[in-house]
């Protein structure tokens, strides 16, 4: 049996090694935060390039200061590796791997499954395994546990299991890994006690819930709430545009109400690893219980239609100048899914770029945070394309991301149509087209 008192004593004394699987936008910040709190850290990733960069003290995520990576590199408490036999040297293993959708928009748990298959041969008594990846209710119990128990060890007796969904918001100046409360659920009271104690060493507040399913559902509710409200303002945008009403002015005015209103903002489509994907994890699981999630699916339909709405606005703007899309040179301003980061995950800019190229447009982009497009699962053919100057000649500019560099740019001097999907251009200019 696991000694809870001994485990907690090890955690509080920092005589405890935390393994983090997945050194990406979620795993790397949590690994660094535990390291900076005095824990021994082993960072696992199947991408040899990431491991080599970490072990060389180099940051590959723009908003994570290289000084943090340099300090980690210089510490004898940090190791990055592709060798999963090092799991045996950990006391806790945090799983922070992607949970995308298949082409059929169903949950794709291949990375979670592959990680668990890599862990179980090295699992030992006393371990606690914590899943952080966003997923549908039941994943921890129905997918993770059976694989880990291939080790011959029994969950809740020989090792502990918990679910603590990530709540990272890359480059958010107001909330960091440490200042964002952490929800935790477990398959046992012992697992909940240990997981809560562990996260209490790095976050200001932990919220313990009754089960892993409840914690999994909490994460989905958070992101579905955002998806539905973004769909609402996206639909309002298309309606108000026909009425010659500026949705951004409406939102600003409505936001002055001190109660009963929370602002959400329209855009060219949803991006990031959470909001475009997570709702479909619940819609898929709900079918198992004979429930149709009409409201959630309608929101998804509206949000997925926004890139095509932007293409229509681009086409109309070019037609107004007597030019077809075919053969026109279009300059994208911003590829990242949100401002001031280098995060391309699920970015609507990639879909827009691909769609306009298919229509014959010559597409270039400017993004001060993404000098070269890396390889992506959905659009590998765009990999290697390089950022050009914002002053490059073009037939149309398409503002897709509200980077701070664009907020200070004088668009009044641009002689071609400027299609603004993010309310970057303030005031009226002769060639402005809202989308």
- Catalytic site residues? 274
Please give the Cα distance from 136 to 142 (Å, whole number).
11
Alpha carbons within 13 angstroms on the beta-carbon side of residue 299 total 23
1, 186 Cβ separation under 8 angstroms: no
* Beta strands in 248-294, from DSSP E residues, in sequence order: none
Maximal C-alpha separation, the chain: 76
Distances (CA, A) of 370 to 142, 268, 365, 384, 425: 39, 19, 10, 11, 22
Exposure class string for 232-250: b at 16+ Cβ within 10 A, else e: ebbbbbeebbeeeeebbee
What Rg do the C-alpha atoms of the chain give, in angstroms?
Answer: 23
203: its two tokens = 């976050």
What letter does residue 144 receive in the DSSP assignment? I
Burial (Cβ within 10 Å: 0-12, 13-18, ≥19) of residue 22: buried
Please give the Cα distance from 137 to 214 (Å, whole number).
7
Q: Which residues pair with 432 in a beta bridge?
A: 418
Burial (Cβ within 10 Å: 0-12, 13-18, ≥19) of residue 209: middle
What letter does residue 4 receive in the DSSP assignment? H
Residue 312 DSSP SS3: helix
Residue 261 DSSP SS3: coil
| Residues with Cβ within 8 Å of residue 339, at least 6 apart in sequence | 401, 402, 403, 404
341, 309 Cβ separation under 8 angstroms: no
Task: Please count the residues of the chain.
Answer: 435
Please give the Cα distance from 217 to 319 (Å, whole number).
47
Please give the Cα distance from 116 to 130 (Å, whole number).
11
- End-to-end CA separation in angstroms for the chain: 61
């Amino acid at each position: 049996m696991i000694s809870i008192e001994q485990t907690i004593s090890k955690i509080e004394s920092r005589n405890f090694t935390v393994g983090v699987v997945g050194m990406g936008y979620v795993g790397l910040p949590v690994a660094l935060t535990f390291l900076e709190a005095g824990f021994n850290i082993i960072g696992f990733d199947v991408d040899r390039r990431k491991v080599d960069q970490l072990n060389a003290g180099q940051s590959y995520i723009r908003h994570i200061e290289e000084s943090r990576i340099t300090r980690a590199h210089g510490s004898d408490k940090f190791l990055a590796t592709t060798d999963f036999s090092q799991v045996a040297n950990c006391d806790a293993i945090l799983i922070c791997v992607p949970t995308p959708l298949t082409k059929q928009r169903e949950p794709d748990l291949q990375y979670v499954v592959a990680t668990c298959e890599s862990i179980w041969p090295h699992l030992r008594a006393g371990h606690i395994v914590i899943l952080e990846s966003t997923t549908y209710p039941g994943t921890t119990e129905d997918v993770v546990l059976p694989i880990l128990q291939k080790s011959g060890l029994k969950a809740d007796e020989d090792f502990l299991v918990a679910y603590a969904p990530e709540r990272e918001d890359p480059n958010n100046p107001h909330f960091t890994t440490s200042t964002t409360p952490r929800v935790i659920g477990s398959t046992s009271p012992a697992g909940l006690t240990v997981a809560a104690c562990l996260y209490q060493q790095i976050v200001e507040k932990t919220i313990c819930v009754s089960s892993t399913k409840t914690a999994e559902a909490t994460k989905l509710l958070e992101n579905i709430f955002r998806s539905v409200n973004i769909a609402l303002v996206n639909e309002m945008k298309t309606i108000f545009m026909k009425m010659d009403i500026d949705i951004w002015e409406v939102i600003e005015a409505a936001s002055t109400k001190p109660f009963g209103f929370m602002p959400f903002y329209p855009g060219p489509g949803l991006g990031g690893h959470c909001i475009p994907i997570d709702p479909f994890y619940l819609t898929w699981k709900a079918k198992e219980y004979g429930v149709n999630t009409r409201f959630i699916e309608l929101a998804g339909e509206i949000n997925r239609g926004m890139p095509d709405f932007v293409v229509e606005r681009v086409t109309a703007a070019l037609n107004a100048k007597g030019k077809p899309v075919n053969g026109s040179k279009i300059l994208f301003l911003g590829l990242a899914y949100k401002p001031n980061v280098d995060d391309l995950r699920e970015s609507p800019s990639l879909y827009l770029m691909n769609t306009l190229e298919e229509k014959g447009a010559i597409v270039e982009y400017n993004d001060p945070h993404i000098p070269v497009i890396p390889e992506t699962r959905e659009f590998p053919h765009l990999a290697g394309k390089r950022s050009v100057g914002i002053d490059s000649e073009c037939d149309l500019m398409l503002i897709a991301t509200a980077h701070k560099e664009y907020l200070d740019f004088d668009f009044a001097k641009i002689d071609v149509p400027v299609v603004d999907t993010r309310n970057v251009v303030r005031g009226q200019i002769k060639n402005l087209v809202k989308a």
